[in-house]
Amino acid sequence: LLYERHGDPAAVVQLKDLEVPKLGDCNVHVKMLAAPINPADINMIQGTYPLLSPLPAVGGNEGVGEVLEVGRRVTALKPGDWVIPADAGLGTWRTQGVFPEEMLLKVPSDIPVLCAATLSVNPCTAFRVLADFESLLPGDSVIQNAANSGVGQAVIQIARASGIKTINVVRDRPDLPKLVERLMALGADHVVTEEMLRKPEMKDIFKSIPRPRLALNCVGGKSTTEMLRHLQPKGTMVTYGGMAKQPVMVPVSAFIFRDIRLRGFWMTQWRKDHARDQESVAVMMDALCQLIHKGQLTAPACTEVPLQDYRAALEASMKPFVSSKQILLL
């Protein structure tokens, strides 16, 4: 799936037949199996993301493929192995590709294909924001907005596996009870709407669990300000997205009297910073794959779409209140 200019994804993305390039000595020929449509993919096609691929570009930053053939200098991979992108910008919305070996990470081929296809962005983001900003212990709590997003669903499950309680904020919507039920089934401790954050009933939640030391924000605007009220003094709020396209507003008192810390996180930057530290990457991927093996981390709610129906999938992924990730089957 190729785009030659930036703009509305449903208009600029085209399905094109291309020759598969020749296999070089350090290259790997991969048959792609499945690739999701993420918000960052859409923003890259629109031309609004901080990282843009040179045009013409193949869409998609995430997915899983099976190795068909390797160049004669490739040592870490062999035919039959499953691989995911080691970094953003790979262009995963294609049936086959030839990539340099260092652009791929091997993953176990006995995990569900949808888990592997959605492993390199959201679960990694969830893992890092839970691990890198506060030392959380079993019994501690975390509050997050957009709890039904891909990252939100992964945060709930990873926190649950570590004994950390989650307070999950979602927007009010027509099918709210169904969404609450789904998040509770994943292991959420509390699910509240943005409106409830202001209500006195929030105090009841903190009778049974401590106030959070960590808030995870991917919305911005009012949702964030309301979430901050519930943080412990010296707590940290990490922003990793801005779905409301509004700034983060913080009362001065939160800084002066509660010494709240505000931090930011971008998975792409983390990968750049750790490009030479393969140990950290391996530890993270190993921990996530073990959770998948134990059934403690599942793929987000997904809709599987054949490649030729890509337009419908692109349009569906841009609708509001979508709790199901569109996955292209390649």
Q: How confident is the model at residue 175 (pLDDT cuts 50, 70, 90)?
A: confident
C-alpha to C-alpha distance for 106 and 79, rounded to whole angstroms: 11
| pLDDT greater than 80 at residue 172 | yes
Q: In this structure, what DSSP letter does residue 52 have?
A: -
Are β-strands 261-264 and 2-3 bridged in parallel, bridged antiparallel, or unpaired? unpaired
101 within 8 A of 27, measured Cβ to Cβ: yes
**Which of 41, 39, 100, 36 lies closest to 64, judged by CA?**
36
Listed by start position, the domains of the chain span 2-118+299-329, 127-267
Q: 2-118+299-329: which CATH number, 3.20.20.540, 3.90.550.10, 3.90.180.10, 3.30.70.920?
A: 3.90.180.10
pLDDT in tens, 7-58: 999 999 999 999 999 999 999 999 999 999 998 999 999 999 988 999 999 9
* Catalytic-residue membership of 310: no
Backbone angles phi, psi at 222, to 5 degrees: -65, -35
Catalytic residue among 3, 49, 240, 310: 49
265 within 8 A of 242, measured Cβ to Cβ: no
**CATH class of the region 127-267:** alpha beta
35 within 8 A of 330, measured Cβ to Cβ: yes
pLDDT in tens, 96-142: 999 999 999 999 999 999 999 999 999 999 999 999 999 999 999 99
pLDDT in tens, 267-318: 999 999 998 898 999 999 999 999 999 999 999 989 999 999 999 999 999 8
120 within 8 A of 84, measured Cβ to Cβ: yes
